[in-house]
Structure 1
Amino acid sequence: MPETPDTPDAPFLPGVPGRSPAVEAAIESELRLLDPEVRSSPEAFGTFLHPEFTEFGASGARWDRESIVKVLTARPDPGGRATTTSGMRGVQLAEDVVHLTFDTDTNGRLVHRSSLWRRTPEGWLLWFHQGTPFTPEPAPGD
């Protein structure tokens, strides 16, 4: 049986028929959060975060909504580093909860990322995020 786009192992394929609107909304919001224009504005960045937001960062630090808005909008693109994403996948865990996983690469700094998005009266808001640095495993035979 072929995988549907909402299965955890399915690749991110924008606009693929069958992907739930909730997963689509969470992916769109996640990608907006990574946009340098959004990251440079505390007001814009903060509109995507749930009031109870928590993050365990790739640095090992624990962040709440106020602290992450302050630190990330103060340095939205440190040193001119561009961040790329890959492997974006989403699954709807409940009517109002979506889990996304993906990887980021910021000038060779690789991080596995996991985000939980919750639907609220204001829309889909990021409730929890975790980043874990990783080193790519060598290909077999290397």
Structure 2
Amino acid sequence: MDTPAQIIENELALQRPEIRRDRAAVLALLAADFVEVDADGTAWDAQGVAEAIASQPGYVMPTVSGMVATPLSPDVHLLTYRDETKAHSSVWIRGDSDRWVLRFHQQTRFPR
């Protein structure tokens, strides 16, 4: 699988309910120093995100569009996309064992 396709697949995995319920699976996709800034401006670390998303009852995977992975360097890619209510930006880095892990994610609400 080429790099952009792998990054997109990893991002989509983090949206799948069965992955989100599995803290270890989520943490395997996040860098140790991962940071997320959610749409409310709250910053989260890897453990906080794994705990929060594991306990979202009734979560439904959003419909996403416009996923584009842009290389910033050979080991860093920026992924941008939208869902029904937010714009998303993710920075993926090539981690240990040549695996792609999520280092930073930000959500921004947009007007309907």
TM-score w.r.t. length of structure 1: 0.73
Aligned-partner Cα distance in 2 for 1:79–1:73 = 11
Q: Deviation per CA, 1:28-68: give whole Å up to 9, x if none.
A: 11111111110111111111000000011012111011111
What secondary structure is seen at the aligned counterpart in 2 of 1:84? coil
Give yes or no for the alignment of 1:103 onto 2:78: no
2:23 and 2:50 in contact (8 A); partners too: yes
Aligned-partner Cα distance in 1 for 2:106–2:18 = 22
Question: When you count helix as a share of all residues, which structure comes out higher?
Answer: 2
Give yes or no for the alignment of 1:121 onto 2:100: no
Give yes or no for the alignment of 1:89 onto 2:30: no
RMSD (Å), alpha carbons: 1.5
1:22 and 1:92 in contact (8 A); partners too: no
TM-score w.r.t. length of structure 2: 0.91
- Quick one: which amino acid aligns to residue 111 of structure 1? K
| Structure 1 alignment gaps of length 5 or more | 1-14, 16-20, 137-142
Give 1 or 2 for the bigger CA radius of gyration: 1
Runs of 4+ in structure 1 off by over 3 angstroms are 78-82
